[in-house]
Amino acid sequence: MYSLFVNTGQGALAILLIMSLIAANKASKLIFSKNEHELHRKTRKLVFWSWSMLLLALVSSAADAALAASFHPAFWMDRLLLRTPLVLLTALSIPIAALPRIARLAQRTQAKSAHELDVARRRQATETGLVMPFKLTALAAAGGFYFLLSPPIPFAWFDVLLPITILVFFGGLLWMLQSNRNQAAAASPSSTIYRPWRRRLRLSGSLLLSAAVISFPIIIAADNSRLPERMSMMTGMADFGFKQASSGAGQSLASQLFHRHHLVEDVFGEEGLGRPRTSVASLTGPQEGKADRVFTLTAKQAEVKLSSGKTVEAWTYNGQIPGPELRMKLGELIEVRLVNEDIADGVTIHWHGLDVPNAEDGVAGATQDAVMPGQTHTYRFLAEQVGTFWYHSHQHSKEAVEKGLFGILIVDPPGTAAELAEDITVATHVWDGAGHAIGSNDTLQRKTIKPGTPVKLRLLNTDNWTRKAHDLTGTSFKVTAIDGVALNEPEEISGVSIDVITGARYDVEFVMPNNPVYLSVDRSRKLGIIMSPDSGTAYDVPKVASAGTSFDPTHYGKPAETPFGPDSDFDREFTMVLDNKLAFYNGATGLYDTINGNVFPNTPMFVVKENEVVKTTIINRSAVEHPMHLHGHHMLVLSRNGETVSGSPWWSDTLDVAPGEVYEVAFLANNPGLWMDHCHNLTHAAAGMTMHLMYDGVTSPFEIGSDVANHPE
């Protein structure tokens, strides 16, 4: 419904803008009618344009009102307080002011008269009250379209003062010009002579003058958006949120939704300003002691052959795609030595979903410097979480992941039980020039599994977009974990698709039956895994069941105790609004994906204190989904679209927020550092859809920019 309301409102506004420009031009040209007959005909047509424009304004306003009736205020506050009155009031001026004058003019002109226009008709045809409603509606529609492309998020009246002032100025200027034209029409019959070349010259001059005036702030804005040659990843506006205790009746709705940024002493007090700072470089894993497992990953370019025979020019860890599966047990001390053989842009390793100490997080420019060709870097951390994770480079991450710098990381529980089951990793990826694949397999895979064998499928999506419809045909199954965290008492389900968002992991388990089981990707019969109960029969690929429902964790499994929940008292609360905005980023203009109305480095930096329980409300006003990934922490999902999570506790490190959705999540701030929080559609992240979670008292010595090698996104 959200997309329906938004698209209806935006579509009606776009058509209104076009029609109002045409109608304003027609109203302005009434005076150029050769005779009363032509003027009469034009006024009759203008009636149609008038009612059509009013209808479009009502449709646009009704769509905004529908949003207000059904959705969170963040979706409609700016629309209902700005766009709706702007468009609706000017459009209503047409039936109130223009239509009565048009009707009188039509009555006073003869439908078949060839008489030239007299002074009275000239004045009536250029009457300000007749022409200006069309021009003002066109101006208001243009203003509404501007606010559509550049929504004022977070909403504050001061921020919209300048564009409103510009609209009022141009409205007054148009009114003055139309009044002067009306007076001239009475004074001179020559005003009824249509001189298109003069009108076009005057219009061209006005447009050039307007473009020249507007170009100055545009040039300044584009130049100001250029990223500096060197800057700290701590650059940005610190946002301290607000305390739950202060968010009651004394705080305005706007303040609760879009709290303003504060000075440090406003929140933490002056006593915190002079204390020693902690560098992220010191927040390491254990540096002493012999590691239980040691891995070496060598980043290098290689030509890799897929199962179909197609070759891929890839960036690899150890010459293979995906990189080697790193397997370890809970509590083990892990040491990983990264060697960059020939990746000119540099590499790192980020342990996606594994909440390691900050210095081990592998983000170039935030927690370390990029590892350049010929250099090495060693990571050491304790494997403190059981589950399915993955690793990838966080240096030029969009290009690096697309080209193959990623792999699977699995932490097993103590003992050998997990090793006895059939354990299958399903990492989907799109290879440039080769298309969709599961790892390096872009053809159908076949496996023979003995009936009665427990089977675990670890589903992972490394692509930038959600891989829809992972369907399991031939058996019921359980979803046992999300993002490496086990679900409590999962139930048997069937006929349900698992939509694996980019960066997320789903563990699916079943017991192998006496019939073939087929895991399909995107309901394809050519890309998937067919699991057969014996080797004596070459089973055909079963027909994939028709589209069923998508798996929803909101009510799946059984409740269990959590350290905090929807009714907890939170130490700090934040609002994260995801949207689209016509903006500049590093000198280039475009319709960018934004966080709280900005792209990096102007996105907010959420500041917390250690051991605080933090709540974040994530709101997606944009046109596409955004898989938001918080480094170093797992978020407990409290509610989805106002519906409290009532099944198993749902912990996530990469949460997909679809258009129109609102999630409430919470986490314990127990891992000090400077942590990235960004959209894991890495195309969006590379264009500035990234921000940071910063602990009070933590600093980073690392830098990014054109003069340094670090480029995390």
How many independent structural domains does the chain possess?
A: 4
Residue 207 has pLDDT above 90, yes or no: no
Residue 276 has pLDDT above 90, yes or no: no
- Residue 105: its pLDDT value, please? 85
Identify the domain boundary among 365, 383, 413: 413
Between 513 and 153, residue with greater pLDDT: 513
- Residue 644: its pLDDT value, please? 96
SS3 272: helix
Closest CA to 508 of 466, 458, 454: 458
Residue 273 has pLDDT above 50, yes or no: no
Domain-embedded: residue 168: yes
Distance (Å, whole) CA 228 – CA 600: 12
Average pLDDT on 356-377 reads 96
Closest CA to 251 of 262, 242, 261, 264: 242
C-beta of residue 154 within 8 angstroms of C-beta of residue 577: yes
pLDDT tens per residue, range 18-50? 999 999 888 888 888 778 888 888 888 899 999
Domain-embedded: residue 680: yes
Domain-embedded: residue 213: no
- Residue 551: its pLDDT value, please? 93
Average pLDDT on 524-543 reads 85
- Residue 618: its pLDDT value, please? 96
pLDDT tens per residue, range 643-660? 999 999 999 999 999 999
Identify the domain boundary among 367, 395, 413: 413
Between 258 and 240, residue with greater pLDDT: 240
Residue 631 has pLDDT above 70, yes or no: yes
489 and 436 in a common domain:
yes
Q: What is the DSSP string of 15-73?
A: HHHHHHHHHHHHHHTGGG-SSHHHHHHHHHHHHHHHHHHHHHHHHHHHHHHHHHHHS-H
Between 295 and 190, residue with greater pLDDT: 295
Between 271 and 23, residue with greater pLDDT: 23
Q: Identify the domain containing residue 667 by its residue range.
A: 237-276+561-704
At 270, the pLDDT band (50, 70, 90 cuts) reads very low
Residue 318 has pLDDT above 50, yes or no: yes
Average pLDDT on 334-352 reads 97
- Residue 403: its pLDDT value, please? 96
At 709, the pLDDT band (50, 70, 90 cuts) reads very high
- Residue 260: its pLDDT value, please? 43
464 and 318 in a common domain:
no
> What CATH number does residue 531 fall under?
2.60.40.420
pLDDT tens per residue, range 62-90? 998 898 888 888 888 888 888 889 899 99
Percent of the residues in the chain that have a pLDDT greater than 90, as a whole number: 57
Domain-embedded: residue 369: yes
434 and 390 in a common domain:
no
Domain-embedded: residue 224: no
At 665, the pLDDT band (50, 70, 90 cuts) reads very high
569 and 432 in a common domain:
no
Residue 134 has pLDDT above 60, yes or no: yes
pLDDT tens per residue, range 550-599? 899 999 999 999 999 999 999 999 999 999 988 777 877 888 899 998 88
- Residue 264: its pLDDT value, please? 38
292 and 253 in a common domain:
no
- Residue 269: its pLDDT value, please? 41
Exposure string over 252-291, b if 16+ CB within 10 A, otherwise e: eebebbbbebeeeeebbeeeeeeeeebebeebbbeeeeee
Average pLDDT on 264-273 reads 39
Q: How many residues does the chain have?
A: 713
- Residue 187: its pLDDT value, please? 64
**The token pair that represents 253 in the structure block:** 């709705």
Domain-embedded: residue 227: no
φ/ψ (deg, to 5) at 341: -80, -50
286 and 268 in a common domain:
no
At 313, the pLDDT band (50, 70, 90 cuts) reads very high
604 and 661 in a common domain:
yes
- Residue 271: its pLDDT value, please? 38
- Residue 194: its pLDDT value, please? 54
At 254, the pLDDT band (50, 70, 90 cuts) reads very low
Domain-embedded: residue 155: yes
At 248, the pLDDT band (50, 70, 90 cuts) reads very low
For the chain, what is the mean pLDDT? 87
Domain-embedded: residue 338: yes
445 and 370 in a common domain:
no
Between 456 and 271, residue with greater pLDDT: 456
332 and 480 in a common domain:
no
Residue 193 has pLDDT above 60, yes or no: no
SS3 468: strand
Residue 202 has pLDDT above 90, yes or no: no
289 and 181 in a common domain:
no
pLDDT tens per residue, range 398-457? 999 999 999 999 999 987 555 567 999 999 999 998 899 999 999 999 999 999 999 999
Residue 347 has pLDDT above 90, yes or no: yes
C-beta of residue 71 within 8 angstroms of C-beta of residue 80: no
Average pLDDT on 649-677 reads 96
C-beta of residue 141 within 8 angstroms of C-beta of residue 16: yes
Identify the domain boundary among 393, 413, 433: 413
10 and 158 in a common domain:
yes
At 169, the pLDDT band (50, 70, 90 cuts) reads confident
SS3 582: strand
- Residue 335: its pLDDT value, please? 98
503 and 398 in a common domain:
no
At 478, the pLDDT band (50, 70, 90 cuts) reads very high
